Chains A and B, each alone.
Chain A
Amino acid sequence: MSDMARFQLSEAKPDLSPKRLRKRYRAEARFRLYGITAIVFAIGVLGILLGSIFTTGISAFMQTEVALDISFDANLIDPGGTRSQDSLLEGNYRKLWRDGIFKIFSEVKGRKQKRDLSKLISRGSDLTLREIVLNDPSIIGTTQRIWVKSSADIDSLNKGKTARNIIESDRKIKNHQMAWFDKLMAEKRVRLTFNSTFFSAGDSREPEQAGVLGATVGSFLTLLVTLSLSFPIGVMAAIYLESFAPKNRWTDIIEVNINNLAAVPSIVFGLLGLAVFLNFFGMPRSAPIVGGTVLALMTLPTIIITGRAALKAVPPSIQEAALAMGASKLQAVSHHVLPLAMPGILTGTIIGMARAIGETAPLLMIGMVAFIVDIPRGLSDPATVLPVQIYLWADAPERAFEEKTSAAIMVLLLFLILMNLAAVILRKKFEKRW
Chain B
Amino acid sequence: MEVSIPSGTNVIIKTDITKMTNRSIDDSTEINVSSSNKVTVDNVDVFYGNKQALESVSLAICKNEVTALIGPSGCGKSTFLRCLNRMNDTIDICRVTGKILLDGADINDRNIDVVQLRARVGMVFQKPNPFPKSIFENVAYGPRIHGMANSKVGFNELVEASLHRAGLWEEVKDRLDQPGTSLSGGQQQRLCIARAIAVNPEVILMDEPCSALDPIATAKIEELMDELRQNYTIVIVTHSMQQAARVSQRTAFFHLGVLVEDGDTEQIFTNPEHQRTQDYITGRFG
Contact = CB atoms under 8 A, between A and B. Distances in A.
B1 A336 contact: no
A327 B145 contact: yes
B232 to A, nearest CB: 15
Interface in A302-350: 315, 317-318, 320-329, 331, 335-336, 340
Given A325-B118, A328-B115, A433-B181, A317 B131 contact: no
Nearest to B137: A335
A324 B122 contact: yes
Contacts of A328: 115
Interface centre among A245, A317, A340 (most CB of B within 10 A): A317
B90 interface: yes
Contacts of A335: 141, 145
Nearest to B117: A326
A322 B131 contact: yes
B1 to A, nearest CB: 5
A247 B91 CA distance: 11
A331 B132 CA distance: 15
Nearest to A317: B129
Interface residues of B, number: 28
Contacts of A325: 118-119, 122, 141-142, 145, 195-196, 199
B118 A323 contact: yes
A340 B127 CA distance: 19
B146 A326 contact: yes
Nearest to A248: B92
A317 B199 CA distance: 19
Contacts of A432: 132, 179
B85 interface: yes
B93 to A, nearest CB: 9
Contacts of A320: 87, 90, 125, 129
Contacts of B145: 325-327, 331, 335
A434 B92 contact: no
A315 B127 CA distance: 12
Contacts of A34: none
A434 B127 CA distance: 13
Interface centre among A245, A326, A328 (most CB of B within 10 A): A326
B90 A244 contact: no
B235 interface: no
B116 A326 contact: yes
B259 interface: no
Nearest to B120: A326
B115 A326 contact: yes
Contact of B123 (A244, A324, A331, A336): A324
Nearest to A315: B129
Contact of B125 (A245, A246, A324, A327): A324
A331 B1 CA distance: 13
A324 B118 contact: yes
Contacts of A246: 1, 92
B227 to A, nearest CB: 21
Interface in B232-258: none
A327 B115 contact: yes
B36 to A, nearest CB: 25
A335 B87 CA distance: 19
B87 A321 contact: no
Interface string B105-141: 0000000000111110011010101111000000001
Contacts of B131: 318, 321-322, 336
B44 interface: no
B260 interface: no
A1 to B, nearest CB: 12
A318 B1 contact: no
Given A324-B122, A325-B196, 8 more contacts: A318-B129, A320-B90, A322-B131, A326-B115, A331-B145, A336-B131, A433-B132, A434-B132
12 contacts: A246-B92, A317-B127, A318-B129, A324-B85, A325-B142, A326-B145, A326-B199, A327-B115, A327-B145, A331-B145, A335-B141, A340-B132
In order of increasing CB-CB distance, the 7 nearest A-B pairs are: A326-B119, A324-B123, A326-B118, A317-B129, A434-B132, A432-B132, A321-B129
